[in-house]
C-alpha cells in the first residue's frame, strides 16, 4: 500500500511502503531522503529510493525491520540531504502495534485503561461480601470513582467517533472574522 505521508501505525512483522512528495527538495536536484524511527529500545534508519517521476521518495520498511521493533510509541523524522544542506520534511510520533499472529503474550486485553478500571471498580461495587467490609465513606468514594470513570469513558468514545469522522454529540462553535 502506498501513501503520501509517513505511517502513524506500523504492525510488527509486516512490510510498510509509502511515498513522500517534496516539490521544494526533489530527488532530481540531488537530494536523498532518510526516515528514522526511534524509541528507548532502539532505532531504525531507512533511505528512500527515488520515485520514477524524480520528485518523490519511495520508502520501504521491510518485514525483517518491523519484526525487530518492539510494540509501543516511537518518534520519527523524515529528512532530505544533498551533502551540504539538510532539511526536516516531517516529524511526529508513530505507534508500533504487535503482530497478534506471532506475539508471545497470551492474554491481550484490548480495553483501554479507563475501561479496565471502570470494570474493576464496578465489580467491587456489585460484590456484596466486599461491600459489607467497607464503611459508608469508602462506599461513597468508590461510587464517585465509578462516576468519574464513566465520564472518562464518554470522552474516549467521543474521541473515537472523531477519529472515525462520525458525528459527535459535542458542539463546536466557530467564529469567522
Residue 34 pLDDT class (50, 70, 90 cuts) = very high
Based on the fold, state whether residues 15 and 79 are members of the same structural domain: yes
Please tell me which residue, 78 or 168, carries the higher pLDDT value: 78
Beta bridge partners of 91: 77
Based on the fold, state whether residues 63 and 126 are members of the same structural domain: no
Based on the fold, state whether residues 90 and 119 are members of the same structural domain: no
Question: Which among 97, 123, 149 is the end of a domain?
Answer: 97
Q: What is the average pLDDT across 69-87?
A: 89
Question: Residue 14: its pLDDT value, please?
Answer: 92
Based on the fold, state whether residues 16 and 92 are members of the same structural domain: yes
Q: What is the average pLDDT across 44-65?
A: 86
Asked if the structure places residue 45 within a domain, the reply is yes
Is pLDDT above 80 for 24? Answer: yes
Is pLDDT above 50 for 36? Answer: yes
Based on the fold, state whether residues 80 and 118 are members of the same structural domain: no
Asked if the structure places residue 175 within a domain, the reply is no
Question: Residue 35: its pLDDT value, please?
Answer: 92
User: Domain of 150?
Assistant: 113-163
Question: Residue 4: its pLDDT value, please?
Answer: 59
Asked if the structure places residue 81 within a domain, the reply is yes
Asked if the structure places residue 29 within a domain, the reply is yes
Global confidence as pTM: 0.56
* Inter-CA distances, 104 with 66, 113, 121, Å: 16, 21, 29
Asked if the structure places residue 23 within a domain, the reply is yes
Based on the fold, state whether residues 93 and 122 are members of the same structural domain: no
Based on the fold, state whether residues 48 and 123 are members of the same structural domain: no
CA 140 to chain CA centroid, Å, is 36
Per residue in 129-164, pLDDT (tens digit) is 888 888 888 888 889 988 999 999 998 888 888 777
Is pLDDT above 60 for 50? Answer: yes
Amino acid at each position: 500500500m502506498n501513501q503520501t505521508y509517513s505511517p502513524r501505525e506500523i504492525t510488527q512483522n509486516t512490510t510498510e511502503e509509502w511515498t513522500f512528495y517534496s516539490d521544494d527538495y526533489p530527488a532530481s536536484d540531488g537530494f536523498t531522503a532518510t526516515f528514522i524511527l526511534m524509541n528507548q529500545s532502539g532505532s531504525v534508519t531507512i533511505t528512500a529510493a527515488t520515485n520514477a517521476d524524480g520528485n518523490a521518495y519511495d520508502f520501504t520498511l521491510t518485514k525483517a525491520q518491523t519484526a525487530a521493533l518492539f510494540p509501543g510509541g516511537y518518534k520519527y523524522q523524515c529528512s532530505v540531504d544533498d551533502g551540504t544542506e539538510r532539511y526536516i520534511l516531517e516529524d511526529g510520533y508513530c505507534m508500533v502495534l504487535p503482530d497478534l499472529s506471532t506475539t508471545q503474550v497470551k492474554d491481550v486485553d484490548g480495553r483501554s485503561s479507563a475501561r479496565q478500571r471502570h470494570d474493576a471498580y464496578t465489580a467491587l461495587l456489585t460484590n456484596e461480601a466486599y461491600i459489607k467490609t467497607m464503611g459508608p465513606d469508602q462506599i461513597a468514594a468508590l461510587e464517585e470513582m465509578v462516576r468519574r470513570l464513566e465520564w472518562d469513558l464518554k470522552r474516549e468514545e467521543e474521541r473515537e467517533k472523531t477519529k472515525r469522522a462520525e458525528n459527535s454529540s459535542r458542539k463546536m462553535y466557530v467564529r469567522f472574522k
